[in-house]
């Protein structure tokens, strides 16, 4: 019969630990929360009170129910109080030495039947298990931030995990209202292995000056429909944790995509760790965003549009409706737009080669419409600041959020998205996780509107493959080269990777 785990210990009551304690207490279980000292314990109590208080304020929980939940949690600084726990979950900082010392201690204190679980984001569960006398009863139980909200739990088993234990922990996760996916012990498991590569890539684009923080965040939130842009999410996860996960991933994969971007190291060294310290990529409590530098927009009456098909025609209609005179040209012959005040080249590829063919190259910017709400505006090295400002304003008049970026292959959205989709295909191809688990992981772990393989099917395998080829040609980054499986599916005329994967 499956174990029920009535009494649960949680060691470490930071953001994650306190969230995990809340989840167990909400399920009716008795929780013993352990912290190193009284100060940390009080901080943990604060997390628990604030998180449940937020639910009370929103009318999702009565004050009585809040009292009951908090009443189920005993807070202590003594690990000896875990002697009766059926399960103990560790949520302390991501430092292997600390974890091994803690697990040796738990091994001594806890009853022999107790399961010892780690909420590590990326460290080796096998290495943690090996330091105890009960490696078969040590497992990974990985929650996502904020733990009370995100529906996913990754259950990580090792080569020495007792038969049936992963199933028991998965059943436990279900009893908490979560959806489990089970994975082997590889750095980053399923979700962080995909997520952190993408978040780190956003840092690399920022550092390369391809686009700014707010533009990249807006691009991914409004353009792709993710719940948060990458920098907002990095601040939520914590830059120290993010750095550490990248580091561990890089150590295992040796993939430059995982090598932590220098800006992460710099912020971590400066103690700017994100929300928890009040400042990371953003400052919290920031009253008003800094006023952007005032730029004089070019005075515009004629708008040139380079591109064919319905997108150019629709844009021309919108431009006309906004009170400007549109002139459309195909890229083969740019003569009609030669005298336009600004020229919008519809493209997701670099447009500087079009600019140099115009009599006024400084008047051209690339424009990539993303979904219904976003337009990426790519300025080339020749685009004048007046043109950039005019296109920015024009895009707003057209009721879209402008994302200002440099003239690089796939600009921002597709550069970040396609590389991430490629990583997901690589994971599928390696046999490490099933298509269903990959999609469920990203949907429920990160609140994405769809999993990567679902997104790939929706965008089209060929479009993504071609975009990746363009990215590779531009950056020569091996991780951008289309994974052989993707290439072969396109060649074979397969339209759905999910159907192919069964
Ligand atoms: N604690 C508890 N509850 C919280 C919370 C918190 N810190 N933040 C938000 N919530 C709750 C709110 O109370 C609200 O609940 P109800 O729907 O019951 O009212 C709900 O979440 C939505 O909150 P808001 O409306 O205030 O805000 P939102 O719509 O912007 O959603 C969010 C906030 C749920 C965090 C959403 O932005 C989101 O899903 N973001 C993505 C988060 C993510 O990717 N997490 C995974 C990170 S990776 C990780 O954690 C693993 C690792 O090892 C690094």
pLDDT tens across 403-424, in order? 999 999 999 999 999 999 999 9
Nearest residue (by CA) to ligand 1, atom 20, is: 149
Q: Mean pLDDT across the stretch 225-235?
A: 98
The CA distance from 1 to 484, in Å, is 44
Q: What is the pLDDT of residue 451?
A: 98
Cα(223) to ligand 1 centroid in Å equals 20
CA quadruple 480, 484, 487, 488: dihedral, nearest 10: -170
Q: Taking phi first (over 0 means left), then psi (-120 to 50 degrees means alpha), and beta for anything else, what does residue 415 get? A: alpha
Topology of domain 7-184, per CATH? Rossmann fold (3.40.50)
Q: Is the pLDDT of residue 290 over 90?
A: no
pLDDT of residue 294: 61
With bands split at pLDDT 50, 70 and 90, how would you rate the model's confidence at 291? low
Tokens encoding 311: 């997108």
Pocket test for ligand 1, best of 15, 17, 56, 146 (most atoms within 8 A of CB): 146
Atom of ligand 1 minimally distant from the CA of 121: 53
**Beta-strand pair 302-306/87-90:** unpaired
Q: Is 153 in the pocket of ligand 1 (CB under 6 A)?
A: no
pLDDT tens track for 159-203: 999 999 999 999 999 999 999 999 999 999 999 999 999 999 999
Which candidate, 16, 27, 406, places its Cα nearest to that of 7? 27
What is residue 178's predicted lDDT score, i.e. its pLDDT? 98
Residue 49, C-beta contacts closer than 8 angstroms, at least 6 positions apart = 70
> Does ligand 1 lie within 6 Å of residue 192's CB atom?
yes
Distance from C-alpha of 105 to C-alpha of 12, rounded to nearest angstrom: 14
φ and ψ at residue 267, rounded to 5 degrees: -65, -40
Return the H-helix or E-strand segment holding 401: strand 401-406
The listed CATH number (1.10.1040.10, 3.40.50.300, 2.40.160.20, 2.30.30.240) that belongs to domain 191-277: 1.10.1040.10
What's the CATH architecture for 302-406?
Answer: 3-Layer(aba) Sandwich (3.40)
Q: Whose CA is nearest to atom 52 of ligand 1?
A: 121
Q: Where are the domains of the chain?
A: 7-184, 191-277, 302-406
| pLDDT tens per residue across span 367-376 | 999 999 999 9
Question: Rounded to whole angstroms, how far apart are CA atoms 229 and 222?
Answer: 9
Domains 191-277 and 302-406 share a fold: no
- Among 104, 106, 99, which residue's Cα sits nearest to residue 125? 99
Ligand 1 atom 21 nearest Cα:
149
Q: Around Cβ 45, how many Cβ atoms within 10 Å?
A: 17
Report how far apart, in Å, the C-alpha atoms of 18 and of each of 13, 24, 49, 284 are.
5, 10, 10, 21
**pLDDT reported for residue 3:** 76
pLDDT-derived band at 71 (thresholds 50, 70, 90) equals: very high
Q: How many CB atoms lie under 10 A from the CB of residue 1? A: 4
Is 296's pLDDT higher than 80? no
Alpha-carbon distance of 162 to 55, in angstroms, equals 38
With vertex at residue 142, the alpha carbon angle to CA 141 and CA 145, rounded to the nearest 5 degrees, is: 145
**CB of 54 closer than 6 A to ligand 1?**
yes
The pLDDT score that the predictor gives to residue 285 is 79
The Cα–Cα gap between 389 and 379 comes to 10
Flag whether pLDDT at 224 surpasses 90: yes
**Looking at ligand 1, which residue's alpha carbon is closest to its atom 35?**
146
Q: Three-state SS string across 149-210, please?
A: CCCEEEEECCCCCCCCHHHHHHHHHHHCCCEEEEECCCCCCCHHHHHHHHHHHHHHHHHCCC
- Which token pair is 201? 């890539």
Quick: pLDDT tens for 107-136: 999 999 999 999 999 899 999 999 999 999
CA dihedral 252, 257, 262, 264 (to 10 degrees): -80
pLDDT tens figures, 313-352: 999 999 999 999 999 999 999 999 999 999 999 998 899 9
What CA–CA distance (Å, rounded) separates 129 from 140? 10
Q: Model confidence at 98, in pLDDT bands (50, 70, 90)?
A: very high
- Mean pLDDT over 6-31 rounds to 97
Give, using CA atoms, the residue closest to atom 49 of ligand 1.
144
Omega before 22 cis (within 30°)? no
Q: How far is the CA of 381 from the centre of ligand 1 (A)?
A: 40
Give the ligand 1 atom nearest the CA of 238.
54
Place of tokens 């400084």: 362
- Average pLDDT for the chain: 95
- Residue 479 neighbours by CB under 8 Å, 6+ apart: 197, 255, 256, 257, 419, 422, 423
Assign 297 a pLDDT band (cuts: 50, 70, 90): confident
Q: Is the CB of 58 under 6 A from ligand 1?
A: yes
Residue 222 has pLDDT above 70, yes or no: yes
Q: Which band of pLDDT confidence, cut at 50, 70 and 90, is reported for residue 288?
A: low
Residue 292 pLDDT class (50, 70, 90 cuts): low
User: What confidence category does residue 311 fall into, taking pLDDT thresholds of 50, 70 and 90?
Assistant: very high
Cα(17) to ligand 1 centroid in Å equals: 15
Nearest-CA residue for ligand 1 atom 30 is 227
Ligand 1 center from residue 119 Cα (angstroms): 18
Asked whether 273 and 239 are in contact (CB, 8 A), the reply is yes
Ligand 1 centre and the CA of 487: distance in Å? 36
146 lines ligand 1 (CB under 6 A): yes
Chain Cα centroid distance, residue 112? 38
Assign 327 to helix, strand or coil: strand
Which atom, in ligand 1's list, is nearest to the CA of 445?
Answer: 46
For the chain, give the longest Cα–Cα distance.
81
- For the stretch 138-144, contacts whose Cβ atoms lie closer than 8 Å and that sit 24 or more positions apart, written own/partner, are 138/103, 139/115, 139/165, 139/166, 139/169, 140/185, 140/189, 141/89, 141/117, 141/169, 141/173, 142/189, 142/191, 143/16, 143/19, 143/20, 143/23, 143/119, 143/178, 144/191, 144/444, 144/445, 144/446
* DSSP percent split of the chain into helix, strand, coil, nearest 5: 50, 15, 35
Q: What is the pTM of this model?
A: 0.91
What number of residues does the chain have? 502
Q: Is the confidence at residue 69, as pLDDT, over 90? A: yes
Closest CA to 144 of 6, 244, 23, 57: 23
Percent of the chain with pLDDT over 70: 98
Q: What are the tokens at 383?
A: 């685009």
Whether 150 is in the pocket of ligand 1, judged by its Cβ within 6 Å, is yes
- pLDDT of amino acid 38: 96
Distance 106 CA to ligand 1 centre (A): 31
- How close is the Cα of 150 to the center of ligand 1, in Å? 7
> Residue 287's pLDDT band (boundaries 50, 70, 90)?
low
> What residues act catalytically?
121, 142, 154, 192
């Amino acid at each position: 019969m499956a174990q029920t785990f009535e009494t649960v210990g949680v060691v470490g009551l930071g953001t994650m630990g306190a969230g995990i304690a809340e989840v167990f207490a909400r399920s009716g279980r008795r929780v013993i929360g352990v912290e190193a000292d009284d100060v940390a314990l009080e901080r943990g109590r604060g997390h628990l009170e604030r998180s449940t208080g937020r639910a009370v304020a929103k009318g999702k929980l009565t004050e009585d129910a809040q009292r009951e939940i908090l009443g189920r949690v005993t807070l202590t600084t003594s690990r000896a109080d875990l002697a009766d726990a059926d399960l103990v979950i560790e949520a302390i900082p991501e430092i292997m030495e600390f974890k091994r010392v803690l697990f040796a201690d738990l091994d001594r204190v806890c009853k022999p039947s107790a399961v010892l679980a780690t909420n590590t984001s990326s460290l080796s569960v096998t290495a943690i298990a090996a330091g105890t006398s009960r490696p078969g009863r040590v497992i990974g139980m990985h929650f996502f931030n904020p733990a009370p909200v995100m529906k996913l739990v990754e259950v990580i088993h090792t080569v020495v995990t007792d038969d049936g234990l992963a199933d028991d922990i998965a059943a436990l996760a279900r009893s908490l209202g979560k959806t489990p996916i089970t994975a082997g012990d590889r750095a980053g498991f399923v979700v962080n292995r995909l997520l952190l590569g993408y978040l780190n890539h956003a840092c690399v684009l920022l550092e390369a000056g391809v686009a700014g923080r707010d533009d990249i965040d807006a691009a991914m939130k409004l353009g792709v429909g993710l719940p948060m842009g990458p920098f907002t999410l990095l601040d939520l996860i914590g830059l120290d944790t993010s750095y550490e996960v990248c580091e561990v991933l890089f150590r295992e994969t040796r993939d430059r995509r995982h090598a932590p971007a220098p800006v992460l190291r710099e912020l971590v060294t400066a103690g700017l760790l994100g929300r928890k310290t009040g400042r990371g990529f953003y400052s919290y409590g920031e009253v008003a965003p800094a006023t952007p530098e005032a730029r004089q927009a070019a005075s515009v009456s004629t708008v040139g549009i380079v591109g064919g098909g319905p997108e150019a025609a629709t844009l021309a209609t919108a431009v006309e409706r906004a009170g400007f005179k549109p002139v459309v040209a195909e890229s083969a012959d740019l003569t009609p737009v030669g005298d336009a005040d600004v020229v919008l080249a519809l493209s997701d590829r670099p447009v500087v080669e079009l600019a140099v063919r115009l009599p006024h190259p400084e008047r051209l910017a690339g424009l990539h419409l993303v979904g219904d709400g976003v337009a990426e505006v790519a300025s080339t090295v020749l685009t004048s600041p007046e043109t950039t400002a005019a296109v920015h304003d024009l895009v707003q008049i057209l009721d879209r959020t402008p994302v200002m970026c440099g003239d690089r292959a796939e600009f921002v959205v597709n550069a970040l998205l396609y590389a991430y989709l490629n990583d997901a295909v690589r994971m599928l191809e390696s046999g490490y996780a099933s298509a269903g688990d990959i999609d469920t992981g990203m949907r429920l772990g990160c609140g994405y509107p769809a999993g990567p393989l679902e997104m790939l099917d929706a965008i089209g395998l060929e479009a993504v493959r071609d975009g990746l080829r363009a990215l590779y040609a531009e950056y020569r980054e091996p991780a951008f080269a289309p994974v052989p499986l993707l290439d072969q599916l396109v060649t074979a005329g397969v339209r759905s990777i999910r159907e192919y994967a069964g």
